[in-house]
A and B are shown apart, each in its own frame.
Chain A
Amino acid sequence: MTALDAHLLVQRGDFDLDLRLTIAPGEVVALLGPNGAGKTTALRALAGLTPLAAGHVTLGGRDLDRPDRRLWTPPERRPIGVVFQDYLLFPHLSTLDNVAFGPRRHGMPRREARAHAADWLARVGLAAYARRRPRHLSGGQAQRVALARALAVDPTLLLLDEPLAALDARTRLDTRAELHRHLTGHPGATLLVTHDPLDALVLADRLVIVEHGRSVQEGDAATITARPRTDYVARLVGLNLYRGKADGHTVALSDGFELSVAERADGDVFVAFSPSAVALYPDRPDGSPRNTWPATVTGVQRHGDNLRVQLTGPIGAAADVTPLAAAALRLEAGLEVWAAVKAAETRAYPAQ
């Protein structure tokens, strides 16, 4: 059963969005992508704030938007709640009245709406802040009020636009955990728009990666982190990614470089390996069957307890080395080294 079934076609200047989305009731889907990929446009189109050029939005079996049939439902009549990036809590209303705003507009009597709102504030742990104006709330509190306000009308679809982007790192950690709890409890469908892979991985059941207005990869977190299909995703999950033609245990990349892989593969494939699988040597290593190539260090950055080394050469790659190894190699930009990756450390999977 699907709650949301949408095909979003939006034209805006020289940018166009073409995205198909389905979300089941209770499912949390993250729309993950770089800035300018069209994530927020997709969210606005679902909410009815940006018109569709074509396609459809169907929610709970009801058509909300069908440009081909001249059918359009204004935002106020869509059972869709939105948590905006900077929350947009009404500055002239108390926290309680902000949360009661939706229920009131849905015809709930004032007293009842306020009781309902108080209940929601209690659920997000802000019962004591009912009389405060939004400007007297911290970022994390404002985020929770915005969530309560959106959920107080029982939306069939909840949309969250970068819900944690405006928070500092410490608050983000707590709020993410709290948000996860509320999203798990939300019976409707949830679409989360984010450029932060951690938010997506923690909060969502399924990820849809968007680049340039198109979905480039979809799946659960495990699949996407293990088998990235674009450079953007590979960078997000911290893998080296190459595309080439496989013939048995050898994959020929487009620039002619050949990688040996452990699994047999044929045809168009991706090859991925972790930076920690790359070993660096001052001279050409010999021994077990490895992929080796001469490389030049272009940059060294701290990465957790290790150092991440950017390499150019026949193939670009990132390598993680320990500070001890880095010192032994006297690593610095411009240094010529040999890079090696065991075939067993690589993963090859079909590109189709």
Chain B
Amino acid sequence: MRERARVPLALLVPAGLGLAFLVLPLAGLLVRAPWGTLPQRLAEPGVLTALRLSLQTSTIATLFCVVLGVPLAWLLARVPFPGRRLVRALVTVPLVLPPVVGGVALLLVFGRRGLLGSWLDSTFGVTLPFTTTGVVLAEAFVAMPFLVIAVEGALRGADARYEEAAATLGAGRWTTFTHVTLPLVAPGVAAGAVLCWARALGEFGATITFAGNFPGRTQTMPLAVYLALETDLEAAIVLSLILLVVSVTILAALRDKWITSA
């Protein structure tokens, strides 16, 4: 019995190092935080503006992703069509694409001289790059795959025969979706939305490329951290600390969700 309980050192050592590698930087953040001046730091208008902008844009981006991503996930999970595997692969591309590349790609499409951007500009007078809307777009582009993958997984896991049962009771496909499918996969949608929101909140590369770095308009928290790092290290630490707290809170909420849905 004791023989079995012993963990091989060859596994224990790298495991411990891995844990330390993940935890130490966070600990460093906490150790170096200017705790004494924290209240004043937090009250600085620049910090609050960036935080508000980040929360607003990532929330709107998440809503945008839910509205478009849940139907997309449903299509991928429930409707067999030619090229479905290709579409599924395309959906996951932003997941592996370097965000900066995503930002460049967004510029090429939605930029003032972009494929759609020039048309939007000339027809509606709408400009997307370097605006708050542009921030939302950049965040949604990067975060949507998280939602689609989570919801599609939930849909595939849900028993499709409930939908057949609904059909035999007179429910059409749309009613079945709203009254049966969606409630059944609600935990999956919630988990996907939280992941999506967390990803949008931390978005940096696509945002700075597509939307730029204008305080109050497109300067989100990660951008503010990056900028502060060059001028005021303590400010960067405070901003990072706020993002850390928000992320950990989200993670805790997500874990609860997973545990209750399991």
A residues sitting closer than 8 Å to B (CB atoms) are 47-49, 74-78, 80-82, 84, 88, 90-93, 101-102, 105-106, 149-150, 153
In the complex, which residue of chain B has the Cβ closest to the Cβ of A105?
B170
Stretch at the interface among B6-14, B100-108, B113-121, B157-165: B157-165
Which residue of A78, A82, A105, A149 is within 8 Å of B175 (Cβ)?
Answer: A105
Report the separation of the CA atoms of residues A74 and B176 in the bound assembly, to the nearest whole angstrom. 13
Please count how many residues in chain B sit with their CB below 8 Å of the partner chain's CB atoms: 18
Known: A90-B180, A92-B184, A105-B175. A82 touches B165 (CB 8 A): yes
B30 in contact (CB, < 8 A): no
Known: A92-B183, A92-B184. A49 touches B169 (CB 8 A): no
Report the separation of the CA atoms of residues A228 and B165 in the bound assembly, to the nearest whole angstrom. 36
Q: Which residues of A lie under 8 Å from residue B166 when comparing CB positions? A: 76, 90, 101, 105
Report the separation of the CA atoms of residues A137 and B161 in the bound assembly, to the nearest whole angstrom. 20
In the complex, which residue of chain B has the Cβ closest to the Cβ of A49?
B164
Report the separation of the CA atoms of residues A14 and B168 in the bound assembly, to the nearest whole angstrom. 27
Known: A88-B161, A90-B180, A92-B183. A149 touches B169 (CB 8 A): yes
The smallest C-beta distance from B179 to any residue of chain A, in angstroms, reads 8
B172 in contact (CB, < 8 A): yes
Assess the A76–B180 pair: CB atoms within 8 A. Answer: no
In the complex, which residue of chain B has the Cβ closest to the Cβ of A159?
B168
Report the separation of the CA atoms of residues A92 and B183 in the bound assembly, to the nearest whole angstrom. 7
Report the separation of the CA atoms of residues A291 and B64 in the bound assembly, to the nearest whole angstrom. 83
B63 in contact (CB, < 8 A): no
The smallest C-beta distance from B190 to any residue of chain A, in angstroms, reads 14
B227 in contact (CB, < 8 A): no
B229 in contact (CB, < 8 A): no
Q: Which residues of A lie under 8 Å from residue B161 when comparing CB positions? A: 84, 88
B95 in contact (CB, < 8 A): no
Assess the A76–B168 pair: CB atoms within 8 A. Answer: yes
The smallest C-beta distance from A137 to any residue of chain B, in angstroms, reads 16
Report the separation of the CA atoms of residues A102 and B165 in the bound assembly, to the nearest whole angstrom. 10
Assess the A105–B169 pair: CB atoms within 8 A. Answer: yes
- Given contacts A76-B168, A84-B165, A105-B175, 11 further A-B pairs with CB under 8 A are A47-B164, A75-B164, A82-B165, A88-B161, A90-B162, A90-B183, A92-B184, A92-B186, A105-B169, A149-B169, A153-B169
B60 in contact (CB, < 8 A): no
Q: B134-175 CB contact bits vs A (8 Å, 1 = yes)?
A: 000000000000000000000000010110111111111001
Report the separation of the CA atoms of residues A76 and B163 in the bound assembly, to the nearest whole angstrom. 11
In the complex, which residue of chain A has the Cβ closest to the Cβ of B176?
A76
In the complex, which residue of chain B has the Cβ closest to the Cβ of A87?
B165
The smallest C-beta distance from B101 to any residue of chain A, in angstroms, reads 41
The smallest C-beta distance from B177 to any residue of chain A, in angstroms, reads 13
Q: Which of B162, B170, B175, B183 has the largest number of chain A CB atoms within 10 A?
A: B170
Report the separation of the CA atoms of residues A48 and B164 in the bound assembly, to the nearest whole angstrom. 10
Which residue of B159, B167, B183 is within 8 Å of A76 (Cβ)?
Answer: B167
In the complex, which residue of chain A has the Cβ closest to the Cβ of B167?
A75
